[in-house]
Amino acid sequence: MKILVTGGTGYIGSHTCVELINNGYEVVIVDNLNNSSIDVIDKIQQITGIKPVFYQVDILEKDGLEKVFEENQLNAVIHFAGYKAVGESVAIPLTYYENNISGSINLYQLMKKHHVNNLVFSSSATVYGDDFDVPFKEEYGLGTTTNPYGTTKKMNEMIITDMCKADSDLSCVLLRYFNPIGAHESGLIGEIPNGIPNNLVPYIAQVVSGQREYLNVWGNDYNTPDGTGVRDYIHVVDLARAHVKAIEYALNHKGTEVINIGTGKGYSVMEVLKAYEKACGKEIPYRIMNRRPGDIAVCYADTEKAERLLGFKAEYDIDRMCEDSYRFTRMLDK
Ligand code: NAD
Ligand code: UFG
């Protein structure tokens, strides 16, 4: 079985390629290396013993992308490629809509033309917005997004759902990720933030490595046990394994399914900070700041559907997520 992985040298994509290869799939990666490095291909080979086929192609360039479909007999596509920075999407919305929507439409059109009927798409818990009560359930549907990035995820979900209604051969799994963190246990692949990290764990990692003085804790007056924001952090390797399950599901079913991928458990900012302190053996300086605009108090998944349809349940706890993140950061510093 040959799987096209767009964005396969990125953070979640690279871990997913490792799990796919470990489960006997052939992997073809398409990435323009906008937010990742070619070295990742060698790292995947070091971990798995197999070098994935790689095309440095921008999904906005349809001719280049079509060559990949012509040269490979593909069974399915996992579509990670896209921009993901919430703040940046507010500043340059058209760039986000072009890459995340036009790029995706190019891909879906080529899938149709070349009769590739199975798709797994990277969606996000951000599509729930602030409209619903936790735990977030898939049946809630789409909430009000608060930034162009989130809207591109919502629009992709709508486009894919319409495609599936129009074509009964299609099988599409829309995975709504909660908060992926951590890294591969080898320390060879992980998340390398571009510039000042926006996300909690990459920021903590830079405080620990001395690149930043202290963590800004965005608000401690939320209606949560310690007042700081609560999120459903999931180990990126667990998330990668969920993609293998989703591919198996797509290959054996038709139609669209929306599935949350989280642990079902929420941790506060202070709890994550404490877990990271345990992992690195140091105290991590922090300051309580005002709330960050657009943040919600609590976000965690109802995981029943992932368990029922995919047989997927996350295995790693917050301590392991922080240990693996710390190991990767130390390898980067070397
Ligand atoms: P990432 O930036 O590490 O990976 C995305 C990859 O896509 C990068 O390697 C980048 O170079 C590539 N890319 C971007 N535009 C491209 C284009 N036009 N053509 C070819 N390649 C292109 O991000 P990630 O964290 O691995 O996220 C993967 C997907 O999951 C994204 O769609 C993201 O929106 C989604 N997602 C991520 C999170 C998260 O917290 N990391 C949460 C929910 C959803
Ligand atoms: N936080 C801090 N300090 C920081 C960074 C974050 O206190 O320096 C807090 C936030 O206020 C929030 C929690 O840590 O309470 C998590 O924040 P992240 O930025 O790590 O993650 P978010 O839940 O805000 O957003 C992430 C992704 C989005 C995605 C969303 C839902 O960044 O792209 O999860 O999947 F849409």
Phi and psi at residue 272, in whole multiples of 5°? -65, -45
Mutual orientation of helices 269-280 and 318-333 as an angle, nearest 10°? 60
pLDDT, position 137: 98
| Residue range 105-132, pLDDT digits in tens | 999 999 999 999 999 999 999 999 988 9
pLDDT, position 94: 98
pLDDT, position 152: 98
The CA-CA-CA angle for residues 179, 46, 280, to 5°, reads 45
Residue 4 host element (H or E): strand 2-6
CA distance 237 to 250: 20
Q: Is 122 in the pocket of ligand 1 (CB under 6 A)?
A: yes
CA of 146 to the centre of ligand 1 (A): 19
Taking the CA of 219 as reference, the closest ligand is 2
Q: Is 217 in the pocket of ligand 2 (CB under 6 A)?
A: yes
Pocket test of ligand 1: the residue of 88, 110, 122 to mutate, having most ligand atoms within 8 Å of its CB, is: 122
pLDDT, position 147: 95
CA distance 242 to 257: 14
Name the residue at shortest CA distance from atom 1 of ligand 2. 200
Q: Is 12 in the pocket of ligand 1 (CB under 6 A)?
A: yes
Residue 5 host element (H or E): strand 2-6
Q: Is 33 in the pocket of ligand 1 (CB under 6 A)?
A: yes
Asked whether the CA dihedral 73, 251, 63, 165 is positive or negative, the reply is positive
CA distance 79 to 141: 21
CA of 164 to the centre of ligand 1 (A): 23
pLDDT, position 78: 99
CA of 200 to the centre of ligand 2 (A): 6
Name the stretches of the chain with pLDDT < 50.
none
Residue type, 46: Q
CA distance 170 to 182: 33
pTM: 0.98
Could you count the other beta carbons within 10 Å of the beta carbon of residue 243?
A: 27
Q: Nearest CA to 114 among 53, 14, 28?
A: 28
